[in-house]
């Protein structure tokens, strides 16, 4: 029996954090209904770039990236009063209801926690949004692309002589789901033991602040604020990304201990500068770090990162190619863990980029699936799962309930 087999999930979430949370359940066998509406589809479905440049609900790469797991997609037009009645029947079916709207949306539909509880007393409701369900900024919309700023992450990304450079993606969208997933799984376990459901209000902002806890405490206790240091750390040198042979090729090298320094010197062939007394101690290397980095780069620049990494690693020095997407495709370690799995998709063909969880369980394999098409399971969910008679189903469809 799979870890979440028999668990029913009613998933109203969209865009990044919600789907990326529910995935962690979906990898392991629940029945999940993803509720959309053709009037109001998951905005990710219309986020470019699109397969072959064809704009449409089934061709967004962003939507695919966020949906590598099995779910039953339905469309339900929540602005229709009859749709809200059907939603309530789905709530009665569900063990978990997840939503990631701007606060107030579920209330508008009569689907706040109090209502859900009346329908299903032991329901678990997961509510994830930028800044939580309450408070003066609860209703401010946002995206992970900008939440990184509010969370202190942008401030510490970049070079000391420049303003912060920020992130290339909605970075917190990949962290907040982990807090959500742990919490909802804990709530499910709690319910199994006690019979009690609950509502979880998880502010993405409040969650991701935990990852920079020491910086917060440093501010509270010592009134010190973090600064940007590029790739440098106080306790390592050399420590950075070094230019290698080729166009925009780089390799990370990290030397923390005396032993690593000795090994590093051997790998670079012990040229004269490695014997310079000022580089023999960490403090000396830190004091002369610009000069040191110059020497390191003189050596790396003559070599490809694919040469630098294994020669350093073989000597026990931390090193890693700054991989671009082509390198990631060829990375033997990522291949070993099957980062990229190809699955057939009616619009993408044999699309090769469906991601796994970041962990592997020895006895509970995960399962990937291509993303669902909009409303793909309407008939199954409404007629089979809810048992709506065929004639009524057709009638409701005509009335636009399933738009």
Partner 1 sequence: MLSPYRILDLTNERGFICGKVLADLGADVIKIEKPGGDPARSIGPFYHDIPDPEKSLYWFAFNTNKRGITLDIDTVDGKEIFKRLTKNSDIVIESFDPGVMDRLGLGYSALSQVNPRVIVTSITGFGQTGPYKHYKAPDIVVWALSGNAYVTGDPDRAPVMSSFPFSYIVGGALQAAVGTMVALHHRERTGEGQHVDASAQLSLSWPVSAEPYAMWIEEGTIMKRQGRIWKRPQVLAGKKTFWVATPMVYQCKDGDINFVIMAGLGYGMSTNALSKWVESEGMASETTKGIDWCKMEWSQVNQEMVDGVVKDFSRFFMAHTKAELLEGASKRGIMLYPVLRPKDIRELNQLKSRDYWVKVDHPELETSITYHGPFLKTTESFDTVCRRAPLIGEHNEEIYLRELGLSKEELLTLKQMNVI
Residues of this chain, 167-206, that bind partner 1 according to CB under 8 A: 167-171, 173-175, 178-179, 181-183, 185-190, 192-193, 196, 198-203, 205-206
* One character per residue 35-54, x = contact with partner 1 (rule: CB under 8 A): -----xx-x--xxxxxxxxx
Residue 87 token pair: 């939603």
Beta strand 124-129 pairing with 96-99: parallel
Which one of the listed residues 42, 73, 173, 293 is annotated catalytic? Answer: 173
Residues 6 or more apart in contact with residue 394 via CB below 8 angstroms: none
CA dihedral 192, 194, 198, 202 (to 10 degrees): -70
Spell 112-132 as b/e; 16+ CB within 10 A means b: bbeebbebbeebbbbbbbbbb
Considering only 79, 93, 109, 218, the residue that binds partner 1 (CB under 8 A) is: 218
Segment contacting partner 1 (CB under 8 A): 70-78, 83-91, 157-165, 279-287?
A: 157-165
What CA–CA distances, in Å, run from 325 to 72, 193, 334, 340? Answer: 31, 45, 12, 12
Q: Residue 378 Cβ, how far from partner 1 at the closest point, in Å?
A: 21
What sign has the CA pseudo-torsion 329, 334, 335, 337?
A: negative
Nearest residue (CB) to partner 1, 373 versus 396: 373
Nearest residue (CB) to partner 1, 137 versus 383: 137
Segment contacting partner 1 (CB under 8 A): 91-99, 226-234, 284-292, 382-390?
A: 226-234
Considering only 85, 118, 122, 225, the residue that binds partner 1 (CB under 8 A) is: 225
- Is 248 a residue that touches partner 1 (CB under 8 A)? yes
What gap in Å lies between CA 134 and CA 198, rounded to an integer?
17
Strand blocks (E) in 28-175: 31-36, 72-75, 96-99, 124-129
Report the largest interatomic distance among the alpha carbons of the chain, rounded to a whole angstrom.
88
Considering only 104, 121, 135, 246, the residue that binds partner 1 (CB under 8 A) is: 135
Considering only 157, 282, 373, 386, the residue that binds partner 1 (CB under 8 A) is: 157
User: Looking only at residues 339 through 368 of this chain, which bind partner 1 when binding is defined by CB under 8 A?
Assistant: 339, 351-353, 355-364
Q: Residue 81 Cβ, how far from partner 1 at the closest point, in Å?
A: 23
What gap in Å lies between CA 263 and CA 269, rounded to an integer?
10
Q: Residue 58 Cβ, how far from partner 1 at the closest point, in Å?
A: 14
User: Looking only at residues 54 through 113 of this chain, which bind partner 1 when binding is defined by CB under 8 A?
Assistant: 54-55, 61-62, 64-66, 113
User: Looking only at residues 275 through 334 of this chain, which bind partner 1 when binding is defined by CB under 8 A?
Assistant: 313, 316-329, 331-334
User: Looking only at residues 10 through 29 of this chain, which bind partner 1 when binding is defined by CB under 8 A?
Assistant: 14-15, 20, 24, 27-28
74 phi and psi, to 5 degrees?
Answer: -125, 155
Beta bridge partners of 125: 97, 199
**Can you give the three-state secondary structure of 211-239, one letter per residue?**
HHHHHHHHHHHHCCCCCCCCCCECCECCE
What gap in Å lies between CA 394 and CA 286, rounded to an integer?
73
User: Looking only at residues 249 through 268 of this chain, which bind partner 1 when binding is defined by CB under 8 A?
Assistant: 250-252, 254, 256
Task: Respond yes or no: is residue 173 known to be catalytic.
Answer: yes
Q: Residue 90 Cβ, how far from partner 1 at the closest point, in Å?
A: 21
Nearest residue (CB) to partner 1, 346 versus 387: 346
Nearest residue (CB) to partner 1, 96 versus 381: 96
- Is 246 a residue that touches partner 1 (CB under 8 A)? no
73 phi and psi, to 5 degrees?
Answer: -90, 130
Considering only 110, 158, 284, 400, the residue that binds partner 1 (CB under 8 A) is: 158
Residue 161 token pair: 């002589």
User: Looking only at residues 372 through 391 of this chain, which bind partner 1 when binding is defined by CB under 8 A?
Assistant: none
What CA–CA distances, in Å, run from 234 to 5, 63, 178, 226, 254? Answer: 48, 40, 30, 13, 12
Nearest residue (CB) to partner 1, 206 versus 379: 206
Q: Residue 178 Cβ, how far from partner 1 at the closest point, in Å?
A: 4
Of the candidates 350, 321, 353, 351, the residue with the CA atom closest to the CA atom of residue 338: 353
Nearest residue (CB) to partner 1, 37 versus 274: 37
Segment contacting partner 1 (CB under 8 A): 82-90, 278-286, 335-343, 367-375?
A: 335-343
Segment contacting partner 1 (CB under 8 A): 76-84, 90-98, 134-142, 377-385?
A: 134-142
Q: Is 202 helix (H, G, I), strand (E, B) or coil?
A: strand
Positions annotated as catalytic residues are: 173
């Amino acid at each position: 029996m799979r870890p979440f087999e028999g668990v029913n999930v009613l998933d109203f979430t969209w865009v990044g954090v919600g789907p990326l949370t529910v995935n962690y359940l979906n990898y392991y066998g629940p029945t999940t209904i993803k509720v959309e509406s053709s009037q109001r589809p998951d905005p990710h479905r219309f986020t470019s770039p699109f397969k072959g440049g064809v704009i449409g609900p089934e061709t967004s790469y962003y939507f695919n990236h966020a949906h590598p797991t099995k779910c039953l997609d339905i469309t339900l037009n929540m602005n229709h009063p009859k749709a809200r009645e059907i939603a309530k029947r789905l709530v009665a079916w569900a063990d978990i209801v997840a939503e990631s709207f701007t606060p107030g949306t579920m209330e508008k539909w009569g689907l706040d926690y109090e209502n859900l509880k009346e329908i299903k007393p032991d329901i678990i409701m997961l509510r994830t949004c930028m800044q939580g369900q309450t408070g003066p900024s609860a209703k401010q919309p946002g995206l992970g692309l900008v939440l990184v700023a509010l969370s202190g992450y942008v401030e510490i990304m970049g070079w000391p002589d420049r303003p912060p450079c920020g992130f290339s993606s909605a970075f917190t969208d990949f962290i907040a789901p982990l807090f959500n997933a742990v919490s909802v799984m804990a709530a499910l376990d709690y319910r199994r033991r006690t019979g009690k459901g609950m509502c979880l209000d998880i502010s993405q902002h409040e969650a991701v602040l935990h990852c920079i806890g020491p910086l917060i405490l440093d501010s509270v206790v010592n009134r010190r604020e973090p600064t940007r240091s590029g790739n440098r750390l106080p306790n390592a040198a050399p420590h950075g990304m070094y230019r290698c042979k080729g166009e925009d090729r780089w390799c990370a090298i990290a030397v923390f201990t005396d032993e690593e320094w000795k090994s590093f010197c051997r790998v670079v062939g012990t040229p004269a500068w490695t014997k310079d007394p000022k580089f023999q101690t960490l403090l000396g290397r830190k004091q002369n770090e610009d000069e040191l980095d110059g020497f390191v780069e003189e050596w790396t620049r003559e070599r490809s990162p694919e040469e630098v990494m294994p020669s350093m690693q073989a000597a026990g020095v931390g090193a890693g190619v700054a991989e671009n997407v082509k390198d990631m495709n060829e990375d033997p370690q990522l291949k070993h863990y099957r980062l990229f799995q190809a699955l057939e998709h009616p619009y993408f063909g044999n699309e090769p980029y469906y991601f796994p969880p970041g962990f592997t369980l020895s006895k509970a394999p995960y399962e990937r699936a291509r993303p669902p098409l909009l409303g793909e399971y309407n008939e199954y969910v409404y007629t089979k799962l809810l048992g709506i008679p065929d004639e009524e189903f057709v009638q409701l469809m005509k009335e636009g309930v399933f738009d």
